[in-house]
Amino acid sequence: MKMTQAPAYVRSLNEDLAQDRAANDAKAAVNAQAARERFVPLEDRLTRLLSTIPAEVQREGLSLPAIQSALRGKWRGKAHPGELGVALRKLGFERRRNWKKGGGFSALWFRN
């Protein structure tokens, strides 16, 4: 008996399966990298992030929520603000508050 080629729909299913597997492998690699990145010390990750922020922007002041959203936390989504403040101080930053009428303030971080 002579073997015939698989029908076109079977070939397309196999191609779709191969594409799905490739996409899943790529996604798994990204997730693995993100998991490894979370366990790098916060100070090192923060140093790396600050090196990508232009000096002009740093001179205008950095907001904690903006920095926090760019860094992944060790256990949950975002870096803890308290730990982030300690790391910023270790790297020579200080927090300056801008008081507003009505009792509130906004805080920005500046390099000493």
Q: Which DSSP letter does residue 52 get?
A: H
Question: In the prediction, which pLDDT does 6 show?
Answer: 72
Helix (H, G, I), strand (E, B) or coil at 43: helix
Please give the residue range of the domain that contains residue 21. 1-38
Cα 25 from Cα 38, distance rounded (Å) = 20
Q: Domain count for the chain, please give it.
A: 2
Is pTM beyond 0.75? Reply is no
State yes or no: pLDDT of 83 exceeds 80.
Answer: yes
Same domain (yes/no): 111, 78: yes
State yes or no: pLDDT of 2 exceeds 60.
Answer: no
Short-list 104, 54, 57, 62, CA closest to 84: 62
Same domain (yes/no): 64, 106: yes
State yes or no: pLDDT of 90 exceeds 90.
Answer: yes
* Residues 71 and 85 sit within 8 Å (Cβ to Cβ): no
